[in-house]
Amino acid sequence: MIFSPSPIDALFRAPRLIKRVISVFADLCFVGIAFWAAIMVRVDSFSIFSNSQFWLLLFSLMPITVLINIKLGLYRAVIRFIGTKAATSIGIAVVFSTVILILLSYYLHVPLPRTVPIVFAAFLMILIGGSRFVFRALLSNKSKTKERVIIYGAGSSGRQLARSLIQGNEYLPVAFIDDDVRIQKSVVYGITVFNRSDIDALIIKYSVNRILLAMPRESKKRIARVLDKLENLSVEILSIPGSADLVSGSAKIDELHEVSIDDLLGRDPVQPNQDLLQADIRNKVIMITGAGGSIGSELCRQILQQHPKKIVLLELSEFALYKINGELQIMAKKLDYDLIIVPLLGSVQQKNRLLTVMRTFAVQTIYHAAAYKHVPVVEHNVIEGVRNNIFGTLFVAEAAIEAQVETFVLISTDKAVRPTNVMGTTKRMAELVLQALADQIAKTKGKTRFCMVRFGNVLGSSGSVVPLFREQIKSGGPITVTHPEIIRYFMTIPEASQLVIQAGSMGKGGDVFVLDMGDPVNISDLATKMIHLSGLTVLDKLNPEGEIAIEYTGLRQGEKLFEELLIGDDITQTDHRRIMSAHESWLPWPELQQILVKLDEACHQFDHEEIRRLLLQAPTGFVPKDGICDLVWNAKDTEKDNYKVV
């Protein structure tokens, strides 16, 4: 059943112009009522209504009073914000109107009792002023149904947010919190600015369940410090969009969202070097393998902004390719950029396809992001992990050499350092492939320049713990963590992509670049912070009344407690403060090639024991924590050693 809004609600929702017209009409009526009431009080006879001189006096007074009100800004004032300043303006308007009444009665020769102007002023003040404060009270009562919130940050963004929320129907700001002592105890839109130490009392006083963070221009470190102070409060913390989104118009001030984890980490991205960003991209043909993945798609977005001549997208997933192609087309249109985007389905395991594509489109720079990266999945699908991560990289690299591609950048991982799982080992093998090929190219004076960039976890990628934790919190828990002491490095996808591009521009051939990931993060602590910032508490032995439990499921197959970024200690700092160059051992191509030939044969024969032996033989530092975990291998009968794939 559809209910029509009440007249009061309809009036509140009416356009500003309609409200002003209604205010003018009401004030005209108030002038008339005050005029006749003042005379009636003095004369006490209905005969006054037949006096044409009184009507002339009234009709002369009404438009002048409205003009006075307009001049004093009474129709510009928003009733819900009306205060002492507006009351003063109303008083001045009434005084002027009364003086005009006296002057008109004198010049129009209308006999008016002396007490009438005084009574008229009293009635007019009550009617014009009283009506406005009555409506403000109605609005105030209406606001009582809105959820009360505290705004942290009384700067320009906080004030804009307060104004927007007051006019909305969902939240009612009851207090500002700001660390700037200069503005504490001041009043903004009728809302007092308090010190941070007052938060606990304010939450109890106003029954607040949410604090809105209005600090879009503050540094990540500053925001992280604030969140540390707010974490233990039993309220949910929401944030407004970042300053870049607000300035660009892609987000509104009142579009509140959960606090981003990069705010929690307190890591401020370094301003990218524009020369490094453009060196291998501007006016060049760029190819991205795995273009629809988490890192691949962000690389596409960053690359597009550096004005390449053409972008070739290679992706195995049809849906992922469709999605990133559509997004890039829209981005190019918004930037008014006539960019050629070539969306291609294909696998990095098809060398002929790769070589044909590179030659056809004259590819100059390749960012190789295609890989199977989830540790348990690769543990259960060993041969596909080896084929895709090792031989896929080999085929793309060999095709790049034959097509005379200028630059080849491999996206590697911290799991390639002293790996305990097949995924990390295959990525280290991929690094060895490029190091060996780079040495061969140096000897033959080839054209292609190889480098690889190694970094840890990125926030928001597929399989990342952050979106998983959010979903688990929304569903009421529990949050699942593998081990209470597990630690990981984190970086945002945009920052990682920008650093990959910049590192690739610095490579001379065979370089292994390592990104500065900042301080490692305890995953259990991260889960606790996310629970607290959602306004909930952890359910454990110390707090049996908590809402969300954290369950420890045990390390997964091949998973490590601590990830590392360096194999040895031989490392040098580059010109970029977040990019380091590692100098690590490798195999010459003839020796590595022998291992690859045997590995290919073992994959073809489905010989997992030989695959394991070869991966251990290679200089990868592979120290497996578990036996062979491949699901198909373990499902075979006890005579699987004699089984051969035809």
Between CA 426 and CA 587, with CA 603 as vertex, the angle to 5 degrees is 45
- Joined tokens for residue 541: 């032995």
- Joined tokens for residue 79: 């009733």
In contact, 496 and 401? CB cutoff 8 Å: no
For helices 589-604 and 422-444, what crossing angle results, to 10°? 140
Q: Which amino acid is at 595?
A: I
The CB-side HSE value for 144 (13 A sphere, CA atoms) comes to 6
Q: Is 351 a catalytic residue?
A: no
Calpha distance 172→541 (Å, rounded): 37
Closest listed residue to residue 601, CA positions, set 588, 613, 586, 587 = 613
Calpha distance 489→53 (Å, rounded): 87
The three-state (H, E, C) secondary structure of 521-544, written as one string: EEHHHHHHHHHHHECCCEECCCCC
The CB-side HSE value for 555 (13 A sphere, CA atoms) comes to 13
Bridge-partner residues for 137, per DSSP? none
In contact, 226 and 211? CB cutoff 8 Å: no
DSSP codes of every residue in 52-98: HHHHHHHHHHHHHHHHHHHHTTTTTS-GGG--HHHHHHHHHHHHHHH
- Among residues 415, 427, 529, 560, the one annotated as catalytic is 415
Catalytic residue numbers read 415
